[in-house]
């Protein structure tokens, strides 16, 4: 049986959303970031630095999975694996689509994620980053070029690979979500705005998000 380690308010949201899309059963083991231990809803929750979880992932990060003995880390790689294992429309239909899905996962991680997280924390504030609107605006400006690339790709069929919603869209949408604190980015990229709204209107996303909202912030 598939076991997913991580809380909904983490990158585990990507894997929990995909499991819902695939309709696969799984066991959920809440593991909270060590710096958020005080936010644990249940004292039985593990932390990322607990000895029990470190035996699963010695890196001390979430998410991780144990899929009948296949232990994997890194949320985007986990999703690519699960999609290919279970097949269907979310999975690549051939080696070309497989390559394109890997490309978009790496593109989102390298071109968008770090910048979007930094900008989000600067605009909204966090336990470790003070609000700084001027710095946030500068950080969001760095996302204009990647968003233009994404907008052009989506202009063709509305999705990233194969003209249909796939794991590539799910992975990329979850990373672009961090930029939603800057609606001006999406206004300047109408195809991205329409696409992320479509992704987030899916029942599996809504189910995941409801559980995320139920967790302590």
pLDDT reported for residue 5:
98
Give CA–CA dist 116/177, Å, rounded.
9
Q: Which of 58, 77, 70, 73 has its CA nearest to residue 5?
A: 73
Domain 2-87, CATH homologous superfamily name and number = Glutaredoxin (3.40.30.10)
Q: Which of 197, 183, 185, 189 has its CA nearest to residue 149?
A: 189
* Cβ atoms of 150 and 172 closer than 8 Å: yes
Main-chain phi, psi angles of 42, to 5 degrees:
-140, 130
**What SS3 state is found at 49?**
coil
pLDDT reported for residue 126:
84
Structural element, H or E, at residue 67:
strand 64-67
pLDDT digits (tens, 9 = 90+) for 42-95: 999 999 999 999 999 999 999 999 999 999 999 999 999 999 999 999 999 999
The domain limits of the chain are 2-87, 95-202
* Cβ atoms of 123 and 182 closer than 8 Å: yes
pLDDT reported for residue 128:
80
Q: Does the domain at residues 95-202 carry the CATH identifier 1.10.287.70?
A: no
In degrees to the nearest 10, what's the CA dihedral of 156, 177, 188, 109? Answer: -70
Low-confidence ranges of the chain (pLDDT < 50): none
Q: What predicted TM-score, i.e. pTM, was given to this entire model?
A: 0.96
């Amino acid at each position: 049986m598939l076991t997913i380690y991580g809380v909904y308010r983490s990158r585990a949201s990507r894997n929990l959303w995909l499991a819902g899309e695939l309709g696969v059963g799984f066991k959920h083991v809440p593991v909270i970031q060590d710096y958020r231990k005080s936010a644990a809803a249940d004292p039985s929750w593990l932390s990322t630095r607990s000895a029990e979880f470190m035996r699963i992932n010695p890196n001390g990060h979430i998410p991780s999975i144990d899929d009948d003995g296949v232990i994997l880390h890194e949320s985007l790689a986990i999703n690519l694996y699960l999609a290919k294992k279970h097949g269907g429309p979310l999975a690549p239909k051939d080696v070309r689509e497989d390559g394109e899905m890997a490309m978009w996962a790496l593109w989102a991680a390298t071109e968008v994620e770090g910048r979007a997280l930094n900008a989000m924390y600067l605009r909204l504030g966090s336990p470790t980053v003070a609000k700084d609107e001027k710095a946030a605006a500068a950080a969001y400006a760095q996302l204009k070029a990647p968003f233009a690339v994404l907008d052009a790709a989506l202009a063709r069929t509305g999705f990233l690979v194969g003209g249909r919603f796939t794991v590539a869209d799910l992975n990329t949408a979850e990373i672009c979500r961090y930029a939603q604190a800057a609606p001006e980015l999406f206004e300047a990229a109408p195809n991205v705005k329409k696409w992320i709204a479509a992704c987030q209107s899916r029942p599996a996303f809504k189910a995941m998000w409801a559980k995320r909202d139920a967790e302590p912030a």
